[in-house]
Amino acid sequence: MRPSPTTITAAPPGHDVTDLLPDHDAIAEWRGLRERLARADRDAAAAALAALAGGIRRTVISTIAGAGLGHAGGDLSVTDILATLYGAVLRVDPADPGWPDRDRLVLSKGHCSVALYTTLSTCGFFPAERLSTFAAPMSPLNGHPSRRSVPGVETSTGPLGHGLPVGVGIAVGLRLRGSAARTVVVLGDGELQEGSNWEAAMTAGHRGLTSLTAVIDRNGLQQGARTSATNELEPLADKWRAFGWEAVEVDGHDHLALLDALTAPHDAGRPRCVIARTVKGRGVSFMEDRVEWHHKVPDAEQARSALEELR
């Protein structure tokens, strides 16, 4: 048989998704939260974001325990960052994931897919019930996020050091198209050891990409050991500044601090790096700051205990 010109699955400008469809009830609920947050005072906003993050954490634990696969430690360190972004910052439309002027979130630390999937389903990009298929045969929810199958995933990640160059390209492209949409790349600190990040950092600084924000989930641990024991990253903020970025350091579990860092106007002509100091395994005492929880899966008793702590 001759090869068909349609051998490639034609990808529409947005996404090629037939399996995971928007959950309109969840979208309505998320929009309600966004409206409440827009009117809320700081205490109320902090409480609402904490509640959102708490729900995501519990679902992360039950999803990983159910699937027998996942990266619980990193999922829990990045949760408050994702909750703040999707709860209060990013302009996205879960009913129309390919909306051309949407803000873009690139999860460079793709191993923390469960935190992303849970956050996306909370916003209504797809029904939360589908999370139970995570890592199951033929599920759209792969161990690492795929742009092919998950609405809201902008680029397929997993191998480290890929997100920032893609984010730089998005920011350059949106600017060329005259769009005001923002691009946020969430990076692990360990993956900054990949040189591709610094190639991209150089380009972003050189091009003055004001619409680009990098958020570093600075939990200080990588798969095998502390980052400081493996290949030291400090002085981290100075490195970004030297590449033409502004850099701020915040408590990555303080929703209001994150909110301020993610919404303050950028210095003219500078991309922003938010170094979010986090704790791997945050919220579960026996996981916190423990390197083995990089990709250890809780057994039934550990999961029950973790959910109890996260209640």
Looking at beta carbons only, is 11 or 264 nearer to another protein?
Answer: 11
Q: Which stretch binds another protein (CB under 8 A): 5-13, 116-124, 125-133, 275-283?
A: 5-13
What tokens does 289 get?
């700051």
173 binds another protein (CB under 8 A): yes
The whole-angstrom separation of Cα 244 and Cα 271 is: 8
The answer to whether 142 and 112 are in contact (CB under 8 A) is: no
Q: What are phi and psi of 213, to 5 degrees?
A: -125, 130
177 binds another protein (CB under 8 A): yes
User: CB within 8 A of 81, min separation 6: which ones?
Assistant: 186, 215, 217, 252, 258, 276, 278
220 binds another protein (CB under 8 A): no
172 binds another protein (CB under 8 A): yes
Whole-angstrom CA distances from 169 to 14, 163, 212 are 16, 10, 10
The one among 20, 112, 164, 310 contacting another protein by CB under 8 A: 164
180 binds another protein (CB under 8 A): no
265 binds another protein (CB under 8 A): no
Q: What's 109-142 look like in SS3?
A: CHHHHHHHHHHHHHHCCCCHHHHHHCCCCCCCCC
Write down the H helix ranges in the chain.
24-39, 42-67, 72-84, 113-123, 163-176, 195-206, 227-230, 236-242, 255-263, 300-309
7 binds another protein (CB under 8 A): yes
165 binds another protein (CB under 8 A): yes
17 binds another protein (CB under 8 A): no
User: CB within 8 A of 115, min separation 6: which ones?
Assistant: 56, 60, 74, 75, 76, 78, 79, 82
161 binds another protein (CB under 8 A): yes
Q: How far is the CB of 207 from another protein (least distance, A)?
A: 8
Q: What are phi and psi of 67, to 5 degrees?
A: -85, -25
The answer to whether 298 and 64 are in contact (CB under 8 A) is: yes
Q: How far is the CB of 166 from another protein (least distance, A)?
A: 4
Looking at beta carbons only, is 55 or 158 nearer to another protein?
Answer: 158
Q: How far is the CB of 290 from another protein (least distance, A)?
A: 29
The whole-angstrom separation of Cα 261 and Cα 272 is: 9
96 binds another protein (CB under 8 A): no
Q: How far is the CB of 139 from another protein (least distance, A)?
A: 16
The one among 57, 71, 104, 272 contacting another protein by CB under 8 A: 104
Q: Which stretch binds another protein (CB under 8 A): 2-10, 32-40, 44-52, 113-121?
A: 2-10
Give the binding site for another protein (CB under 8 A): 1-5, 7-13, 16, 100, 104, 146-148, 154-159, 161-162, 164-174, 176-177, 179, 183, 195-196, 199-200, 202-203
